[in-house]
Amino acid sequence: MRSYLDLTKPRITWLILMSTGIGYFFGHQGSVDFLLLFNCLLGTALIASGTATLNQWYEHDADAKMNRTSQRPIPAGKVTPRNALLFGIALLVAGELQLGWGVNPLTAWLGLFTVASYLCLYTPMKQRTWWSTTVGAFPGAMPPLLGFAAARGVLTIDAWILFAIIFLWQFPHFYAIAWMYRDDYAKAGIQMLPVVEPDGASTSRQILGFALALIPISLLPSFFNMTGNLYLAAALVLGGFFLNSAARLSRDRTSLNARGVLKASVMYLPLLYLALIIDSYKLF
C-alpha cells in the first residue's frame, strides 16, 4: 500500500491542493460551500495522483537510470508497470467523475486539459527538448483555475492572476532542481536546460529573469481589489527574498546556491498564499 501511495507523490499533491483551495476562496461569493470545496479538492487530488502515477509509469526506464529516482516504486520493483498503469487510470477516471458530478462541467474540463497537457505534451517532451519546462508550466499553473471554476462556474481576471503567479513561480523552482540534478538528468537522456547548456549561464539567467518578473505579477491582487496593502507589502518582501536567492545563483553558479533558490521557492509560495488569505479576509 505504501508503494502505491508513493506513486501519487503526496507532497506535490498537497501543494496542488493548497493552490486549488486558494482559487476556490477567491472564486466563491457569499458563504463558503464546504461540501463543494471538499468535492473539488477530492477530485483534484485524484487527478493529480493519477497524473503523477502515470508520469512515473511512462518514465520508469529513465527513473531507473537516475540516483534521485531509482528507488521509486516501479524501478525498485515494488509495483509492476502494468499495475501502476491501471492504478493511474483508475485514479484519473475517479477524479474526472468526481469533478464532473460533484462540482461542475467547467472544472472537469479544466482538469481534463491539465491531465492531457501534462501527460501527452510535457512528459514526452522532456526527452526531446528543454522547452518542456515551459510547456509543463501551463498544467502546473492550473490548480487555482480549477478551484476558482468550482466556486464561481466561470473564470475571471482574478483567476488568471493567480494562474500567472504560479506559472512564473515554477521556472526558478524547477530550473533550480534541474541544475542540482543535471548529471542525473543527463544519464537518463532528459533534456533539461542545464543538460543542454552545462555551464549554467542560461539557467541562471532564466531563474533571475523569472524571479524578477514574478514581483510585479505578484502585486496584481492588490491592484485588482483582491487584497489590500498588507498583502502588497508581504508580496514585495517575499519577492525580494526570492529574487535575492536567484541573484546569488547568477553571481556564483553552484549547486549550493541552486539549492538556496529551491528552498526560497518552497518558502515563497505558502507564505504568499497566507498573505493572500489574511489580507483578503481581514483576519488581522
Is 126's pLDDT higher than 60?
yes
Residue with cell 512528459: 123
Q: What is the pLDDT of residues 54-90, one digit of tens each?
A: 999 999 998 888 888 889 999 999 999 999 999 999 9
CATH superfamily of 1-155: UbiA prenyltransferase (1.10.357.140)
Phi, psi of 12 (to 5 degrees): -70, -40
Q: What is the pLDDT of residues 245-255, one digit of tens each?
A: 999 999 999 99
Q: What is the pLDDT of residues 145-201, one digit of tens each?
A: 999 999 999 999 999 999 999 999 999 999 999 999 998 888 888 889 888 888 888
pTM > 0.85: yes or no: yes
Domain boundaries, the chain: 1-155, 157-284
Q: Where are the alpha helices (DSSP H) in 157-198?
A: 157-180, 182-188, 193-196
At 137 the pLDDT is 96
DSSP one-letter code for 72: S
Q: How far apart are CA 6 and CA 100, in angstroms?
A: 26
